[in-house]
Amino acid sequence: MNDHIRTVLIVGGGTAGWMAAAAFAKTLGSDCAIRLVESEEIGTVGVGEATVPHLSYFNRFLEIDEAEFVRQTQGTFKLGIQFNDWGKPGDSYIHGFGSIGHDIAMQPFHQLWLRAHKLGLAGDIGDYSINTLAAPRGRFMASPRDAPPSSPLANIAYAYHFDAGRYARHLRGYAESRGVRRTEGKIAQVLLRPDDGFVEAVQLESGERIEAELFIDCSGFRGLLIEQALHTGYEEWTQWLPCDRALAVACEKVGPPTPYTRCTARDAGWQWRIPLQHRTGNGYVYASQHISDDEAAATLLANLDGKALGDPRPLRFVTGRRRQAWNRNVVSLGLASGFMEPLESTSIYMIQSGIMRLLSLMPRRDFSPVLRDRYNAQVAVESERIRDFLILHYKATQRDGSAFWRQCRDMPIPAALQDTIDLFRDTGSFFREGFEEMFGLVSWVQVMIGQGIMPARCHPLAEQMPEADLRQFMQGVRQVLESCVDAMPPHEAFIARHCAAAMAA
């Protein structure tokens, strides 16, 4: 027992810092002293306010009530992401969470759909998912407890839109009530042990010295510990993800919040729209070599639903990741560990994944390199497959009206991504790369088909079903889903009944 980690220092607050503090407080309890240092003067980035469904698992792990969480963060619900104008101008599809249709024996539903679609027996693939049918109609509900297990209503997958700053404050209260000690201040110096280069302590501008055994770097792009002190190195991915800047601005709410995020392609990048209960978050992610900051701001402001609630806030970034997310006795989370633009709302997921992975590989005081190496290897695989999924959105385009999109369309891509595309283009096949891959078959299928990558043929087993049975099967799936969507209430009505924020406009 004497070799257990007894002291943890989290450097930086924001979503990453307070998610880590809450999880450690819940897991390590009174056996470990947890402290967090942050400065109100520095602030946080907070470019994204949308998530993937995994966050609900994290909140349940913390035993946070969902309705209270949504209320406190002015949140709404998210069934997926609508992509407009990505394949070519005028195109629109939804990458919905959850399943598509239902599989038969060894055949994923999309294989049967491919055959039916080629025979003229099926509509768009989005017609066969409860999420992609309900989202554009503005309908939402959580799965009722009495739904039959075979009903699509029994397993509705969803995520959230929320105010990330409010979420961090909510987690701060949770963590502090469980013994986490917060210190206000700026770090002036990082002190390393002379014998092995491990971080020994940080010294604040006030002169206070804070020692710890395990350090969690949540200091944002600066990477105060992982990079500035330990010189870990950064692997840059701008050759595949060329956007390097973003502008973010909120605008007034002008109607019922949509139960989906919207991503609209622009001439030099893309624009997000994230509806909350009290306002709508917007942003333009763009490549500075193709548009000026002033032009980007003008484009963003010209495409808002309502009146802007301030000036656009700028953000500069370099896509990529630290060469080691865990170096010596420092583990980096959030922007300190790397950055991939918020196209598929993966930023908060990556924080959550890092926290849970660290807890599963929790070191002792000797910081076994076996644990560190496994952690870093898993982070590498997960990050690279998310990277490839994001690259797919840019590569799979027929847009040619701007230099930016021509660059994306014509760029060489990682070999693993090319193999994935080639395999799917041949017979619609996809194979997940193991536990560390975040996005599964349904996600890859929706984006590839949504952006015009259609398989030349279906799997041979999908041709075994008689044509008449295939027609009946596709019609039956569609009818069941339509009736389920009809039973769902409007998104805003569900919020009003279950989790409306007291001060929501």
Query: DSSP secondary structure string, 285-296?
Result: EE-TTTS-HHHH
CA-to-CA dists, residue 396 to 131, 150, 417, angstroms: 23, 35, 11
Nearby residues of 180 by Cβ (< 8 Å), 6 or more positions away: 21, 22, 24, 25, 34, 35, 36
> Counting Cβ atoms within 10 Å, is residue 148 exposed (0-12), middle (13-18) or buried (19+)?
exposed
307 is catalytic: no
pLDDT of the residue at 382 = 95
pLDDT of the residue at 435 = 67
Task: Please report the DSSP string for 430-450 in residue order.
Answer: -----TT--S-HHHHHHHHHH
Rounded Cα gap, residues 129 and 477, in angstroms: 9
First to last CA, the chain: 53
Tell me which of 26, 78, 118, 307 is the catalytic residue: 78
pLDDT of the residue at 437 = 82
Radius of gyration of the chain, Cα coordinates, nearest whole angstrom: 23
Q: In this predicted model, what pLDDT tens digit does every residue of 344-402 receive, in sequence order? A: 999 999 999 999 999 999 999 999 999 999 999 999 999 999 999 999 999 999 999 99
Q: pLDDT 10s digit of each residue in the chain, 505 long?
A: 579 999 999 999 999 999 999 999 999 978 899 999 999 876 655 545 899 999 999 999 999 999 999 999 999 999 999 999 999 999 999 999 999 999 998 889 999 999 999 999 999 999 999 999 999 999 999 999 999 998 999 999 999 999 999 999 999 999 999 999 999 999 999 999 999 999 999 999 999 999 999 999 999 999 999 999 999 999 999 999 999 999 999 999 999 999 999 999 999 999 999 999 999 999 999 999 999 999 999 999 999 999 999 999 999 999 999 999 999 999 999 999 999 999 999 999 999 999 999 999 999 999 999 999 999 999 999 999 999 999 999 999 999 999 999 999 999 999 999 999 999 999 999 998 776 789 999 999 999 999 999 999 999 999 999 999 999 999 999 999 999 999 999 999 999 999 999 864 4
CA-to-CA dists, residue 370 to 217, 367, 377, angstroms: 21, 9, 11
pLDDT of the residue at 173 = 97
Structure tokens at 372: 């560190």
pTM for this entry? 0.96
Rounded Cα gap, residues 418 and 412, in angstroms: 9
Residue 433: how many CA atoms within 13 Å on its side-chain side?
19
Structure tokens at 381: 């695989």
Pick the closest to residue 504 from 348, 345, 280 (CA basis): 280
pLDDT of the residue at 505 = 42
Q: Rounded to the nearest 10 degrees, how much is the dihedral formed by the CA atoms of 196, 201, 202, 204?
A: -150
Place of tokens 């991504």: 417
Structure tokens at 442: 């349904």
